[in-house]
Structure 1
Amino acid sequence: MGVLSAQGPETVLETDRLLLRPWRVAEAVVQRELWTERDPRVPAHRRLDAEGRPTLGEMEGWIRDGSRTPSLALLAAERRSEGDVVGYCGLIDGALGPDEPELAFELLRRVWGAGYATEAAGAVVGWAQESGYHRLWATVRDWNVASRRVLTKVGFAETARVERDDVHGDSLFMTRSL
């Protein structure tokens, strides 16, 4: 499903409809849009605050200097035919250490339901396997049925581990052996 190509030190994955690649500073507007669209049940530190922070300038800085990205590779998801970035997918440092990263993805609402999340996640899972990882994790809020469905489609299974959260919804831990 995914093809890994090396363009310098950068990771680039290609699928039929997507190019997964490093973020460009000009695409901070997409990150900002993702933050504005987040469900109100998402914890406050992952939503815009009352003063509108993080600002677009702060997000540009994150991309420029690589800060605030606990990622092994959190890649921009660009639609190949349209040339627009519609979200991200990749691996982040997981709670269980560097040998068992977490799959993370988020797409703009306007492209939900088109299968892009499943396509991107499948490519990242394939890349993780080619990179020598033996297991991946994902955490997802119990109420996020669409993301749970994507994870199931790419081979993740729920575990017995749940972090209870009466305010934001319980976090379910899902895993996939590679």
Structure 2
Amino acid sequence: MTDGTAPVLLTTARLGLRPWSVADAVVQRELWTERDPRVPAHRRIDAQGRPTVADLEQAVRAGASAGLLAVERAAVGDVVGYCGLVESGHGRPGEPELAFELLRRAWGQGYATEAATAVVEHARSAGYARLWAGVRDWNVASRRVLAKVGFVETGHREEDPVHGALLLTTRRL
């Protein structure tokens, strides 16, 4: 989403999207604890309680969340999740994946759609031609957000009897 010269900062009517700070690791940890048990194990807290807040602080310092922007409610000033673009391997080079996740307390208020719209518009202005998004078939709320911001299902499904089928969606810009 950027050429590396300046951090991406996006604003909407109710949100600010900005790079993660080390202090946001607490929010990242909360996201990990709230994940649905159907989410693959490598994206959930493990038996040893990892990742810890300290692990996530180190990851922020190392730039592991590059491309994913913290979603901050402007009126309250609290971070409620992330939204951004990541390289996923679903598309061709230069066709990143839209990714987003919000804390449960922020669900149902239109924040995911608002943040995703801002990221899609930023991607368009940055010259991307197409974006991808993978979503589990059971994740109806995320599928609805993707549809609202113009993504369409491609018909490609990666079957997974444990975690649910992964559906690929795309959006031309």
CA deviation profile, 1:107-144 (whole Å, cap 9, x unmatched): 00001000000000000000000000000000000000
Amino acid at match of 1:60: E
Match of 2:81 among 79, 87, 93: 87
1:10 is the counterpart of 2:4: no
Alignment correspondent of 1:57? 54
2:19 & 2:96 partners in 1: Cα distance?
Answer: 18
1:19 is the counterpart of 2:31: no
Deviation of the 1:160 alpha carbon? 1.4
Deviation of the 1:13 alpha carbon? 0.4
2:131 & 2:88 partners in 1: Cα distance?
Answer: 9
1:134 & 1:20 partners in 2: Cα distance?
Answer: 22
TM-score, with normalisation over the residues of structure 2? 0.95
Alignment correspondent of 1:102? 97
TM-align CA RMSD: 1.2
Pairwise mapping of residues 14-163 of structure 1 onto structure 2 (< 5 A)? 14-67=11-64, 69=65, 71=66, 73-95=67-89, 96-163=91-158
CA deviation profile, 1:23-55 (whole Å, cap 9, x unmatched): 110110000000000000000000000110011
1:169 & 1:31 partners in 2: Cα distance?
Answer: 24
1:135 & 1:171 partners in 2: Cα distance?
Answer: 19
Amino acid at match of 1:125: V
2:137 & 2:103 partners in 1: Cα distance?
Answer: 20
Amino acid at match of 2:119: V
Question: Which residues of structure 2 form unaligned runs of 5+?
Answer: none
2:53 & 2:92 partners in 1: Cα distance?
Answer: 31
Divergent runs of 4+, >4 A: none
Bigger drift between 111-120 and 94-103 goes to 94-103
Question: Which residues of structure 1 form unaligned runs of 5+?
Answer: 1-7
Tell me the SS of whatever aligns to 2:87.
strand
Amino acid at match of 2:121: G
Deviation of the 1:10 alpha carbon? 0.6
Amino acid at match of 1:55: T
Q: Percent identity among equivalent residues?
A: 66
